[in-house]
Amino acid sequence: MPDSQSPKPNTREAILDAAEAVVTEEGAGRLTIDAVVARSGFSKGGVLYHFPSKIALLEGMVARLMGTIEHDLEAAETAAQQAGEPVASHLLRVIADKRHLESDLPVALLAASAEQPHLLDPARALNQRLWERIRDASSDPIQALILLLVIDGMSFNDLIKFKQFSDEDRAAVKARLIAMSKDLFQ
Amino acid sequence: MPDSQSPKPNTREAILDAAEAVVTEEGAGRLTIDAVVARSGFSKGGVLYHFPSKIALLEGMVARLMGTIEHDLEAAETAAQQAGEPVASHLLRVIADKRHLESDLPVALLAASAEQPHLLDPARALNQRLWERIRDASSDPIQALILLLVIDGMSFNDLIKFKQFSDEDRAAVKARLIAMSKDLFQ
DNA sequence: GTCTATATCAAGATAGAC
DNA sequence: GTCTATCTTGATATAGAC
């Protein structure tokens, strides 16, 4: 099905790229429309045509990030099914994956959500769906919850650079989590 | 020991009160010097005499919050010593206490730290000290770390309203944590 | 230590040409 | 769909009187 609606290379994506670059290279505090304009090469009018407000831009950034994560989750699911392994543990592995948290992008969106509480709603929804799937696939919901909370705790600590973990700590925690998830998923 | 230095009722504290009120009642995004001025009843000049910049004000808010938490920790420590119980589990209980996270104040400071990364340094330092104390008091550091990470995970989820927990979930997790901490601290 | 008044500026957003 | 130019606002901060 050819895309007759948008023949041009996607300007929206280029703007979102620029916005992410601003955040990761200049910091969350420098994410202004002017900065995105300067970095994208488009004019202010051009940027504001695609994202009529700063909130719209932030929503676009959240939506794209959620899309990326969903894509990773679906890939993990497919891989698990093909390998005949429990899907839930693969989903857990994706959640524990640090890659999506390594840039300053999630911090920037988190910060922006303090002013616009609804901004993270898509992230909340994805998070909740995922937790419910893992819970329902487990033989012990509370054990599953504890497992997820350990991962959440580690992720959040990494995100805002609170507790600093050594590689040994990480490896040891991971080993325990694997032990704790023995026989948890069918 | 009479306080000969500051005979007047503490203006600084009143300004910090106003700043907290702005955050909790109007939201993190409305924390401006003007808003603090309006709410405190002082003039802009007066506020800026005590906190010469917005960053200074935020630093003051962080410092006071950390002071409150330290106070709670010391109280827990004294109580534990008097009861002849392990200090570490009392510290854990304070960390798990939701009270300090229930207002929007921590979210606001978290958001502000995206622009001013050093803002949370006092919080990071307190958090790290606390973790080290608990770790050193435990017979199994990794088990202690996992315990803390569960609490962190729950706290952060509450803070940014990610996962929503039922009271039953909370009670069940708490029971597991107590079971997990059996014989962990001397 | 607290006030009023004002300077300065950055940022979001609009209008209309092309 | 993209541009330039301009408007408007809200916020930080300064200066100096009291």
Instruction: For chain B, say whether A80 makes contact (Cβ under 8 Å).
Output: no
Contact list, A153 vs chain B (CB under 8 Å): 148-154, 156
Cα distances from A77 to residues A87, A90, A147, B83, B155, in angstroms, run 6, 7, 19, 51, 29
Residues of chain B positioned with their CB less than 8 A from the CB of A169: 142, 145
- In percent, the amount of chain A with pLDDT more than 90 equals 91
Distance CA A30, CA A124 (A): 25
Assign domain A8-52 to a CATH class. Answer: mainly alpha
For chain A, the structural domain boundaries read 8-52, 69-180
Summarised one tens digit per residue, pLDDT across range A78-131 is 999 999 999 999 999 999 998 888 889 999 999 999 999 999 999 999 999 999
Correct CATH for B10-52 of 1.10.10.60, 1.10.1060.10, 2.60.40.1150, 1.10.10.10:
1.10.10.60
Instruction: Note the CA–C1' distance, A20 to C15, in angstroms.
Output: 29
For range B9-13, the mean pLDDT: 90
User: Residue A181: what are its φ and ψ, rounded to 5°?
Assistant: -95, 5
Contact B152 A151 (CB under 8 A): no
pLDDT at B123 over 50: yes
Q: Give the whole-angstrom CA distance, residue A79 versus residue A74.
A: 9
Q: Is the pTM of this model over 0.75?
A: yes
C-alpha B186/C-alpha B173 separation (Å) is 22
B149 and A149 within 8 Å at the Cβ level: the answer is: yes
- Tell me the three state secondary structure of residue B131: helix
Averaged pLDDT, B15-43: 97
Chain A interface, best mutation among B149, B155, B181, by max A CB count within 10 A: B149
From residue B49, alpha-carbon distances to A105, A180, B61 in Å are 36, 56, 16
Chain D positions with an atom below 7 A of a protein C-beta are 1-6, 10-17
Between CA A110 and CA A156 the distance in angstroms is 11
pLDDT at B40: 98
Q: Rounded to an integer, what distance in angstroms lies between the CA atom of residue A88 and that of residue A69?
A: 15
Q: Cβ contacts of residue B24 below 8 Å, gap of 6+?
A: B103, B104, B105
Residue in chain B lying closest to A144 (CA):
B173
Chain B residues whose CB is inside 8 A of the A160 CB are 110, 113, 120
**H helices within A41-120, ranges in order?**
44-50, 54-83, 87-96, 99-102, 105-115
Go through chain A and tell me how many residues it has.
Answer: 186
User: Between chains, do A146 and B107 touch, taking CB under 8 Å as contact?
Assistant: no
> Which residue shows structure tokens 């992230």?
A123
